[in-house]
Structure 1
Amino acid sequence: MADSQFARPELPQLIATIRSDLLTRFQQDVVLRRMDAEVYSRVQAAAVHTLYGYIDYLARNMLPDMCDEDWLYRHARIKRCPRKNAVSAKGFARWDGIAGTPEIPAGTQIQRDDQVTFTT
């Protein structure tokens, strides 16, 4: 889940909580209490679990720093900052101890000392 203090209950915990709530409300009728409470608790817990999952999904995507790529495009459109097209770059790479100009095939990855990687 997104960084918050909210803890999403697990499905078995939701089933137990809803089952307990239903059973305490059906105390007057023992037959009804035994028939439907288990089914109701599982159905409601599954629905609530799905809603918690959707809330988790929304919480991750509300802000651009942790969102999915589709949401990132939407955040950029809202702020009128569309994604820029890729452009080629050129530069020089130097190797100590090699004379002349080495042949580097296309697709070779070169990594700087600060761990930034470039692909030829």
Structure 2
Amino acid sequence: MADSQFSRPELPQLIATIRSDLLTRFEEDVLLRRMDAEVYARAQAAAVHTLYGYIDYLARNMLPDLCDEDWLYRHGRIKRCPRKDAVAATGFVRWDGISGTPTLPAGTQVQRDDQVTFTTTQTVKASGGVLRVPLIADNTGAAGNTDDVWRCAWVRQSAASRQQDTLTP
């Protein structure tokens, strides 16, 4: 979670501060200084630490840029801006160093190393050793988002069996 820039003292620091406050208020009376100051300091520090934690939580969630999921949903409802449904990711996959001029038909499945599948949206023919294919994720949401570092495999159906051709990007 992002930092709210709210300065929250650590529990040991609160204990030391409250202990110091209690002991200085008892002044020079040795008997009173050794009574229950430690117990009071720890109990008050724990309560104050909890309150600081709640204030930190509120400070993080007060504005939409740092808030958690539940608060973001609420911010959207307050501003009459409901959350949109997930959509399928779209983009291109590119293979370099292709020999010949293979054609990849529309509707061909392309699969990432983690088994997430995509479908090509146009028939494309390799040119100059490069095959660049537009595609759409088969699933909606963040699962289809793909960085450049993923390896993809071209999966095609044949009459006899499912055959997989791997093209290295």
TM bucket normalised to smaller: 0.7 to 0.9
Matched with 1:62 is 62
2:116 corresponds, among 95, 102, 107, to 107
| Off by >3 Å, runs of 4+ in structure 1 | 87-96, 108-113
The Cα shift of 1:54 comes to 0.9
The Cα shift of 1:33 comes to 2.1
The Cα shift of 1:82 comes to 0.6
3-state SS of 1:83 partner: coil
Q: Larger C-alpha radius of gyration, 1 or 2?
A: 2
Query: How many positions carry a matched residue from both structures?
Result: 112
Compare 86-95 and 97-106 and name the one that shifted more.
86-95
Spell out, residue by residue over 1:21-44, the C-alpha distance to the aligned partner (whole angstroms, 9 max, x if none).
101112364323212100001111
TM-score normalised by the chain length of structure 1: 0.75
Could you say what the CA RMSD is over the residues aligned between the two structures, in angstroms?
Answer: 2.8
The structure that is helix-richer by fraction is 1
Q: Which runs of 5+ in 1 are unaligned?
A: 116-120
The structure that is strand-richer by fraction is 2
Percent identity between matched residues is 72
Q: Which runs of 5+ in 2 are unaligned?
A: 118-143, 150-169
